[in-house]
Chains A and B, each alone.
Chain A
Amino acid sequence: MTIPQPSARVAPASAAGAAPARRPRPDQAPRRPMIECRGLHKYYGDYHALRGIDLTIREGEFFSLLGPSGCGKTTLLRTIAGFEDISSGVVMIDGRDMRNVPANVRPTNMVFQSYAIFPHLTVAENVGFGLRRDPRSRVEKAAAVEEALGMVGLTGFGGRAAHALSGGQRQRVALARALILKPKVLLLDEPLSALDRKMREQMQVELIKLQRQVGITFVLVTHDQEEALVMSDRIAVMFEGEIAQLDGPEALYARPASRKVADFIGVMNFLPARIMSETHDHVTVAAPGLGTVDIPAANVSRVDAGDAGPSIGFRPEAATLLGAGATAAGRVTEGVIDEVVYYGDMTYYDVIMDGTDAYDGIPHEVRISMRNVFGREVPDVGTRTRVSWSPGSLVLFR
């Protein structure tokens, strides 16, 4: 369940309020590629798990692979880690072809979904596990372990039995164990999915800080769109073994490349539309209930195979319910409130907009989210209302 909360950067991320604002990169010059995947295919028998992945992840980037379960995101991560052979294509890490480079010598380390904390070892032995072949002295290694534990906020936990730790602590041990080896890339396979909501939001913030501190490239696999939006510099959305869209969080949220991406990330209202005319910088469409609108070319998604026809989309927070006597900033459509869902800080209103049944005879409902203001009444179901929206926030899917 998502509770959208408007924030400076990304609207639906509930943790966004707690997360540090997206860091401005000191070096805006394009950084060199750290991971490059070219024409990656992976078959399990007849099953085509990865269908031609082309991807560049830059040095120092916090990159997320986002998609529903079975989309191939974990397979792609494990391919980068070297746990899965690829059927065809190339994986390069730091400019080096990874063919015939097994997982144990790749410059990557992984935080597993189950954390894979060795239950028969102490916390310190877990963190120092990868230092066995390190030529440093015992004292130096112990210092490195203590430093790594400090980095994840577990100073003094070294002597504890690993199986006695809480979920959040296991997660930190897994991080320290991977980071102590100073990998070029840290791979995280759904690292927060086993934590409860509060702990998850706290760890999201800590991971962002940690990544900024160590400057290592992080690649995160997640099915949680909110988590991806909060944490990532860039996100690759994957469906059925292919990358559907690769963009920054803002672009992904505001200008999803397809209906499928729009549906997967946050809530998107869809209304049937007809394309009237097209120029190089905008498309003119007619939509029932909205009238005729010009959509900027940047907000026009590519064609999605199998879609019913063109439609107009907008996010719940892109429209506003107008109180009695309020004046609209944009255009206005009238309608009736059909459902009210109260979330405390927010309320969702499902509104049947007038005239939306013009094309298919079905009155369409749209979801509008409003921040609750203390003292302002929440309108009841059945109330007639005015909805204010702006053409600039509409996206055309065709």
Chain B
Amino acid sequence: MATAQGAGAGQGLRLIAPPLLYAILMLAIPLLTILAYSFFRDDYLTVVREFTLDNYRAVWADPIFRAILLRSLAVAGLVTLTTVLLAFPVAYFLSFVVPPQRKALWLLLITIPFWTSYLIRVFLWKVILGYNGVVNSGLKSLGVIDQPLQFLLYNTGSIVMTLSHAYAPFAILPIYVALEKIDRSLLEAGRDLGESRAMTFWRVTLPLAMPGVVAAVLIVFIPTIGDYVTPTVIGGGKIPMVANMIQAQMLDIDNKPLGSAIAISSMAVVTALSLLFLLLNRRFLRVRA
């Protein structure tokens, strides 16, 4: 039912005002501030408010930044790919195989790990993969190896492993929701029109599930690229990612304009990649399931 537009708009604006004001004060203004800072000059103890592009020049000319950004992108890309590929069959199983009355239980089982302390989950992987960790000590006590395996920890692979584990539920849920929305008669129609089960999946189910897959990709990709804990704990500080670099500039080195420029630069890259990804998938997103 349509309510009166004029009165509705006023009432709506009055209601949205408190959360909007909060978001402006605590999010919009801070984001604009670091945007402004990234164009200011650092003078050791103070920030000099004069416009300069030096920070960006310094950031993009720095081979370390470029290497770290590339590594972050590669790690986030790998994590996203693994997470989404591993998650899809689970989401499919939840939506198509689990009987309706058992779905809530399965969802609960999948979400519980997400609710346990992220820090402890990440740390557990260090415990598992460490020099004297669970895997090495386990294999040693079983007599499989004599010396601890060194390649388990402190590398990109262990970072990818840890993050894929941490973000698993984030990938399952959006895909599950998209699959749930698919009208089951569409699949029967696909079969009725002579397609095999596999081709029906390829031509009907997958395209209709794509909005969920796209959401899953973005939900995993964006936060992982800014992850701080995993590179620090699992990478042992030897394999820094963008977040570690921002943290170092902002706190340890205390060059806020340069730190802001790094933050803005990496955000710009992430945003551009996300938009490109959305653009590539636009034909799936237009479909209304």
* Contact in complex: A85, B4 (CB < 8 Å): yes
Closest-CB distance, B5 to chain A (whole angstroms): 5
Closest-CB distance, A187 to chain B (whole angstroms): 14
* Contact in complex: B7, A44 (CB < 8 Å): no
User: What residues of chain B lie closer than 8 Å to A84, measured between beta carbons?
Assistant: 4
* Contact in complex: B5, A85 (CB < 8 Å): no
A344 at the interface (CB under 8 A from B): no
B26 at the interface (CB under 8 A from A): no
B198 at the interface (CB under 8 A from A): no
B2 at the interface (CB under 8 A from A): yes
Q: Which of A45, A74, A85 contacts B7 (CB 8 A)?
A: A85
In the bound complex, how far is the Cα of B8 from the Cα of A85, in angstroms? 11
User: What residues of chain A lie closer than 8 Å to B7, measured between beta carbons?
Assistant: 85
Of residues 1 through 19 on chain B, the ones whose CB sits less than 8 Å from some CB of chain A are 1-2, 4-5, 7
Interface size class of A (residues with CB under 8 A): under 10
Interface size class of B (residues with CB under 8 A): under 10
* Contact in complex: B4, A45 (CB < 8 Å): no
Of residues 1 through 50 on chain A, the ones whose CB sits less than 8 Å from some CB of chain B are 44-45
Of residues 72 through 88 on chain A, the ones whose CB sits less than 8 Å from some CB of chain B are 74, 78, 84-85
User: What residues of chain A lie closer than 8 Å to B4, measured between beta carbons?
Assistant: 44, 84-85
In the bound complex, how far is the Cα of B2 from the Cα of A381, in angstroms? 50
Of residues 214 through 248 on chain B, the ones whose CB sits less than 8 Å from some CB of chain A are none
In the bound complex, how far is the Cα of B5 from the Cα of A45, in angstroms? 7
Chain B residue with the shortest CB-CB distance to A114: B1
In the bound complex, how far is the Cα of B5 from the Cα of A84, in angstroms? 10
In the bound complex, how far is the Cα of B7 from the Cα of A74, in angstroms? 19
Instruction: Fill in one digit per residue for A63-77: 1 if any B CB lies within 8 Å of its CB, else 0.
Output: 000000000001000
In the bound complex, how far is the Cα of B4 from the Cα of A285, in angstroms? 49
User: What residues of chain A lie closer than 8 Å to B5, measured between beta carbons?
Assistant: 44-45
In the bound complex, how far is the Cα of B1 from the Cα of A45, in angstroms? 15
Closest-CB distance, A92 to chain B (whole angstroms): 21
In the bound complex, how far is the Cα of B7 from the Cα of A84, in angstroms? 10
User: What residues of chain B lie closer than 8 Å to A45, measured between beta carbons?
Assistant: 5
Closest-CB distance, B74 to chain A (whole angstroms): 51
Closest-CB distance, A273 to chain B (whole angstroms): 42
Of residues 26 through 52 on chain B, the ones whose CB sits less than 8 Å from some CB of chain A are none
In the bound complex, how far is the Cα of B135 from the Cα of A77, in angstroms? 73
B residues in contact (CB < 8 Å) with A: 1-2, 4-5, 7
Q: What 7 new A-B contacts, CB under 8 Å, besides A44-B4, A74-B1?
A: A44-B2, A44-B5, A45-B5, A78-B1, A84-B4, A85-B4, A85-B7
9 A-B pairs whose Cβ atoms sit less than 8 Å apart in the complex: A44-B2, A44-B4, A44-B5, A45-B5, A74-B1, A78-B1, A84-B4, A85-B4, A85-B7
A residues in contact (CB < 8 Å) with B: 44-45, 74, 78, 84-85
